Amino acid sequence: MQKQDVLDCHERIIPYIHQTPLLRSRLVDKEIGTSVYFKCENFQKAGAYKIRGATNAILQLTDTQRKNGVVTHSSGNFAQAVSLAAKNLNIKAHIVMPSNAPEVKKIGVKEYEGLIYECAPTLEARQAMADKIKKDTGASFLHPSNDTNVIIGQGTAALELLKEIPDINAIFCPVGGGGLIAGSSLAAHYFGINCKVLGGEPFKADDAYRSLQSGKIEGNDSVNTIADGLKTTLGDKNFPIIKKYVNKIVRVTEEEIVAAMRLVWERMKIIIEPSSAVTVAALKRDAAENPQEYTGKKVGIIISGGNIDLNDLPF
Amino acid sequence: MQKQDVLDCHERIIPYIHQTPLLRSRLVDKEIGTSVYFKCENFQKAGAYKIRGATNAILQLTDTQRKNGVVTHSSGNFAQAVSLAAKNLNIKAHIVMPSNAPEVKKIGVKEYEGLIYECAPTLEARQAMADKIKKDTGASFLHPSNDTNVIIGQGTAALELLKEIPDINAIFCPVGGGGLIAGSSLAAHYFGINCKVLGGEPFKADDAYRSLQSGKIEGNDSVNTIADGLKTTLGDKNFPIIKKYVNKIVRVTEEEIVAAMRLVWERMKIIIEPSSAVTVAALKRDAAENPQEYTGKKVGIIISGGNIDLNDLPF
């Protein structure tokens, strides 16, 4: 993946995405101790950055492949993103969702005309059903995070941030399946000026932190975190990029996640989902522990999304 | 109040306010049946449009008056706005707040270095304490809505909206004390092209609706509404403007308010307070009842603020 691949991808997907705004807050800067730039992918189409990677991956399919549609499994934002990206390009989207997926996410998929297939809430059941659909229909399988085209697509949010603030000193991303942080770290490598990339992860699903320590992809024994988007683990396509280009992963407690979510909702008046709050909490923690690295600096945060069930809030 | 007064006011306050963004949502347009432009005063300093009027009023004080500070009574956004506006201009703000004011609003006032005086939760007690402070300190009293300088200041949000979308067909505002809608209707009169101005009001605090019907300022027997910013009644300075320039006031139920709040939170990922949701609900109701007046039109909404207690949400 070269510099030009990222630029080409951005140009390719621009007609299908929003160029989301960068927001700032004096009060948040004061609370955290650095100048923070929020890249608001919660305002992105379908409510999250995932439309970027989904659109890029679908645009790379051949005409024959497009005729057969796409299939993915997701309990969350990627399901909505693939449905909308496919609808925008007039192709069929088969979406495998676990039976316990939040109702609000199912409604989102239906609104974008994705075809929902319910399965048991295990990764095995999801993969098995997606495999069957692929076999039956010839649909192309799209992985939410471990796919080169998806990774490059997700990195375009950081690319836009770097175009707007070229001298930004660091970018924070949440780490779930690893697609966003891998893509962002590529963008920072090619377009930043010594721009660090840091990840935020819940202590309760810290597989990426442990993977960087051990040097191999680790799993999670349990994932009892409010950050429902960050329960997945890294893949063989994104892990090498993360190893090479990500500077550090900062872990945070559930209490820190909820406090960060409240800070942003109250101070900035924008809805961010818990997975995005993880990233704010990680920046806050790292800035408190290493103030010398943040005072007078500019830090970007990829606010990954704003999809949350209002019936199930932590406050 | 002439056209030039509004322009002068805007120029005067620009260094102290945000030029807030206009946001749009395809899904909201579809749901409502017209093209809606959200003027996001929830992103304004201190979280609401009120900083506009407060700043304008304070900037009109003489140097001697400024030395003695300002005093107001408010349970809500105006308290924070006056505190911040005064802090920005290096003068003292005495803020009378009812003892039952939400904790989050008191914290806001303290952060902006306003001096809080608690009183019994009645309008009489508030006014009495404000009068006493005025007498003791020589501070100038600022009324949150029935003050010409405040009215003109609040109208600058609509002015910005009209500058950006000159051919907008209508502007919706919430109606509480009447300052915002009076100022907005002046702006629409001077700068719009046949731009209508409509107000949104809860059935449970519909004093302005009844005032326009009877031709005199009416009160509310009770104000049992979630829209805590709209419990106040009109004043002798703003009512004549409202009578002259406001086209219609649309009343909505509590259920419609909560549904509109949910619509905006979920679809647009921005936090709006119940008083702003009233306005969205009023547009939705009026567009459903009179679709011919909305199809293919452009409608602005002044999203008045985003200050809400997250411990006390309706969902």
Chain A residues inside the 8 Å CB shell of B44 = none
Res B239: pLDDT: 98
Q: What is the mean pLDDT of residues A167-173?
A: 98
Residue B277, pLDDT > 90, answer yes
Is the distance from CB of B243 to CB of B182 less than 8 angstroms?
A: no
CA B171, B175, B178 angle in degrees (round to 5)? Answer: 105
Residues 6+ apart with CB under 8 A from A234: A145, A146, A175, A177, A178, A207, A208, A211, A217, A242
Nearest CA in chain B to A273: B269
Compute the distance between CA of residue B197 and CA of residue B283 in angstroms, rounded to an integer.
11
Tell me, what's the pLDDT at A122? 86
CATH topology of domain A50-141: Rossmann fold (3.40.50)
Q: Which of B75, B83, B145, B304 is catalytic?
A: B75
pLDDT given at position B114: 96
Chain B closest-CA separation from residue A189 CA (Å)? 31
B103 at the A interface (CB within 8 A)? no
- Residue A74 banded pLDDT, cuts 50, 70, 90: confident
Closest residue in A to B312 (Cα) is A315
**CA angle at A66 for the pair A60 and A70, rounded to the nearest 5°:** 90
Domain made up of B51-141: CATH architecture:
3-Layer(aba) Sandwich (3.40)
Give the mean pLDDT of chain A.
96
User: Is some CB atom of chain B closer than 8 A to the CB atom of A22?
Assistant: no
Is residue B75 predicted with pLDDT exceeding 80? no
Is the predicted ipTM greater than 0.95, yes or no?
Answer: no
The total of other beta-carbon atoms located within 10 Å of residue A211's CB is 21
The mean pLDDT value of chain B amounts to 96
- Helix spans in chain A (H): 3-13, 26-32, 50-59, 63-67, 77-88, 103-111, 123-137, 148-154, 156-164, 179-191, 207-214, 239-245, 254-268, 274-289
Nearest to B114 by CA among B65, B77, B67, B80: B80
Q: Is the predicted pLDDT of residue B315 greater than 90, yes or no?
A: no
Q: Which two tokens stand for residue B54?
A: 């407060």
Longest alpha-carbon distance in chain B: 57
Looking at residue B121, its pLDDT comes to 87
- B266, B271, B311: residue with CB nearest A269: B271
pLDDT at A311 (0 to 100): 87
What phi and psi values does residue A202 have, to the nearest 5 degrees?
Answer: -70, 145
Q: Which residues of A touch B21 (CB under 8 A)?
A: 21
Q: How many other CB atoms sit within 10 Å of the CB of residue B168? A: 21
Using the Cβ of B311 and the Cβ atoms of chain A, whether some distance falls under 8 Å is answered with yes
The question of whether A45 is a catalytic residue gets the answer no
What is the β-pairing status of strands B170-174 and B196-202?
Answer: parallel
Q: Which of residues 34-53 of B touch A (CB under 8 A)?
A: 42-43, 47
HSE-up of B93 (CA within 13 Å, CB side)?
A: 30
Does the pLDDT of residue B166 top 90, yes or no? Answer: yes
Inter-chain residue contact A266 with B104, CB threshold 8 Å? yes
A157, pLDDT greater than 90: yes
Rounded CA separation B141/A249 (Å): 53
| Confidence band for B171, pLDDT divided at 50, 70 and 90 | very high
B108 touches A at CB < 8 Å = no
Which residue from B minimizes the CA distance to A303?
Answer: B269
Rounded distance between C-alpha atoms, residue B70 and residue B197, angstroms: 32
List of E strands, chain B = 22-23, 35-40, 70-73, 93-98, 115-119, 140-141, 170-174, 196-202, 248-252, 298-303
Domain ranges of chain A: 3-49+148-303, 50-141
A43 → closest Cβ in B269, B272, B311? B269
In this prediction the pTM is 0.94
* pLDDT tens readout for residues A97-111: 989 887 878 988 999
Q: Do A42 and B271 touch (CB under 8 A)?
A: no
State residue A100's pLDDT score. Answer: 85
End-to-end CA gap in chain A: 43
Note whether A38 and B270 are within 8 A (CB).
Answer: no
CA distance B179 to chain A (A): 23
DSSP of B220-254:
-S----S-GGG-S---TTTHHHHHHH--EEEEE-H
| B311 contacts A313? CB cut-off 8 A | no
Q: Which of A54, A102, A121 is nearest to A226 (CA)?
A: A102
Check whether A75 has a pLDDT greater than 80: no
More reliable by pLDDT, A75 or B298: B298
Given this chain, do its domains B3-49+148-303 and B51-141 carry the same CATH topology?
yes
DSSP code for A45: G
Q: Is the pLDDT of residue A1 over 90?
A: no
Contact between A82 and A105 under an 8 Å Cβ cutoff? The reply is no
% chain A with pLDDT above 90: 89
φ/ψ of residue A139, rounded to 5: -65, 150
For A50-62, what is the mean pLDDT? 98
Partner-chain residue, chosen from B266, B306, B313, that has the shortest CB–CB distance to A269: B306
CATH number of the domain at B3-49+148-303, please? Answer: 3.40.50.1100
A108 or A37, which is more confident? A37
What is the C-alpha to C-alpha distance for residues B170 and B249, in angstroms, rounded to an integer?
13
Residue range B107-147, pLDDT digits in tens: 889 999 999 999 998 889 999 999 999 999 999 999 999 99
- Is residue A211 annotated as a catalytic residue, yes or no? no
